[in-house]
Amino acid sequence: MKAFRVTCFALVLTMILSSLSMFEPSAAAQGDDFSLVYAGAEMTMAIKSDGSLWVWGTNHYGQFGNGLTSHMSIANSIPEMTAGNVVSASAGRNHAMIIRTDGSLWASGRNDSGQLGDGTTTDRHTFTKIMDGVTYVSAGLNHTLAIKADGSLWAWGENRFGQLGDGTTTNRNAPVKIMDDVVSASAGFGDFSFAVTSDGVLYTWGFNGSSQLGDGTTTNRHSPARVMDNVISASAGLVYGAAVRADHSLWVWGSGTLLGGGSNERIIPTKIMDDVHFVSAGVGHIMAIKTDASLWALGFNSFGELGIGTGGDSARTTTPVRVMENVSAVSSGAVHTMAIKQDGSLWAWGGNDRGFLGTGTQTRSLLPIRISTFEISVILDGQRLSFEVPPRIMSGRTMVPLRAIFEELGAVVEWNAETQTVTASKDGTVVVLTIGSNSPTINGQAVSIDSSGLIVNGRTLAPLRFVSEAFGGTVLWDASNFTATITSK
């Protein structure tokens, strides 16, 4: 039976991603002011010190929160800013959660199991407000946990194994209160959940087929069960769990083959290492930050997710290996890892066939590589413009805010909500663009554009060249600096 579980786990890894070749970046890193990062199953989210949220990877269900849905493309593998005033976030499989500075919780993406918590099972392509007074959120594959300022823990989404902890196996599409006095929680990559209370007690519940609840059994739990004392944080993986205790010792349990100790599963927590400050569990690997800020890795390494320069089918490390120094934050994804150093620089490694490393490619990396953010600048007649919705690269085309630039050019802009049409007039020239159409008109004559206009967060974006040249201007694009220079006629 245990061999069967190991085989199934290997199949899960293979289904999630396929192995790709090594990548060495050539571009210099920019924007080294990241504070938090969240590696999900199919996407990555990162927050800068100014509260801006950056996302990359897959956006099949609108989980980026930018009003769009798109399959993996090179454009999606470049970090894109999609929200502001964000203090915390979490990436599930196909849904995303963010907490804003006012404590409000927002959700976007897939919602077939109610994992967004908005009272429906309707997917959302922009961030939708769920509740107020939230201090912490954790998005699992198809369920979500959130902690309010009063310490109460709330859960919603898929519940077939009791992973919500409400005593049932009924899915919930709106938040349900589970327990009080909680300081941290983890929904993880499996159908189970963890919570740590203010007195240091770890509670676990949900699916337990590989003893991932750490309670000494393989019995599923539909309500929180007490497992360990003196815990300061815990992280749920796919078929295992990890926790850091008050004495900074790291403990693991669940599928023993992933973590060493032969084929036997660790049905109760087992000590692995000392001097640990923080732990993050992925699908098959664990990343731990020690008290000296060094980063250590343990577990499967088929896609290079440990960041130690090796990888391949069935590769794994059963004892902790040092990866890098001066680390302030780390997050383990399905088969990739993200880390932030103390200088604010962002680093990534592991599988990447869905672009979730943020390198602008779909190529994996076996070693940590530095990640850049590419903020597009638009300069009009020598003046740099600012936008409520920033320009972005989509499907290889630079898309810019139409109204903002047209008005800076001196045009009068009108919007017809019923027909989804923008009409702009200047000096006898009339430009008409309809959302979704590749044939806008200039003075009644149709012109062809290779990317149609679209609405993002309430603003119309259109191809840079069309917007720049519609009223007779010219544009120069500097790809190395992501800068568009527009000269009006």
Q: In the structure, what pLDDT confidence band is assigned to residue 154 with cuts at 50, 70 and 90?
A: very high
Q: Per the structure block, which two tokens stand in for 106?
A: 């927002």
Mean pLDDT in residue range 25-53: 79
336 pLDDT band, cuts 50/70/90, is very high
What per-residue confidence (pLDDT) applies to 43? 95
pLDDT, position 82: 86
pLDDT at 40 exceeding the cut of 50: yes
pLDDT digits (tens, 9 = 90+) for 433-447: 999 899 999 999 999
How many Å apart are CA 485 and CA 437, to the nearest integer? 26
Cα 144 to Cα 131: distance, rounded to the nearest angstrom: 13
**Radius of gyration, alpha carbons of the chain:** 24
d(CA 70, CA 59): 5
| Cα(287)–Cα(291) distance, integer angstroms | 13
Taking only the tens place, the pLDDT of each residue in 187-221 is 989 999 999 999 999 999 999 999 999 999 999 99
Listed residue (199, 195, 188) closest to 225, CA to CA: 195
Mean pLDDT of 88-106: 97
Q: Is 344 left (phi over 0), alpha (psi -120 to 50) or beta?
A: left
Strands in 53-57's sheet, in edge-to-edge order, are 34-39, 43-48, 53-57, 80-83
With tokens 């990866």, the residue in question is 323
- Higher pLDDT among residues 374 and 282, named by residue: 282
Dihedral of alpha carbons 162, 166, 169, 171, sign: negative
**CA–CA distance, 238 with 407 (Å, rounded to integer):** 52
Mean pLDDT of 334-354: 96
pLDDT at 260: 57
Of residues 83 and 135, more confidently modeled: 135
> Would you place residue 364 in the very low, low, confident or very high pLDDT band (cuts 50, 70, 90)?
very high
Amino acid identity for residue 86 in this structure: V
The domains located in the chain, with CATH, are: 2-371 (2.130.10.30), 377-487 (3.30.457.10)
How confident is the model over 395-416, as pLDDT tens digits? Answer: 567 889 999 999 999 999 999 9
Of residues 99, 86, 90, the one with CA closest to residue 143: 90
Whether residue 372 is predicted with pLDDT greater than 70 in this model: the reply is: yes
For the chain, percent of residues with pLDDT exceeding 90: 75
**Residues 247, 230: contact at Cβ < 8 Å?**
yes
Q: What angle do CA 454, 90, 113 make, to 5 degrees?
A: 75
Distance from C-alpha of 331 to C-alpha of 235, rounded to nearest angstrom: 10
User: 347-350 long-range contacts, Cβ below 8 Å, gap at least 24?
Assistant: 347/371, 348/44, 349/304, 349/305, 349/307, 350/303, 350/304, 350/305, 350/306, 350/307
- Write phi, then psi, for 258 (nearest 5 degrees): -70, -35
Could you give the CA distance from residue 258 to residue 6 in angstroms, rounded to a whole number? 9
Where are the extended beta strands (E) located within 149-208? 153-157, 172-179, 182-186, 192-197, 202-206
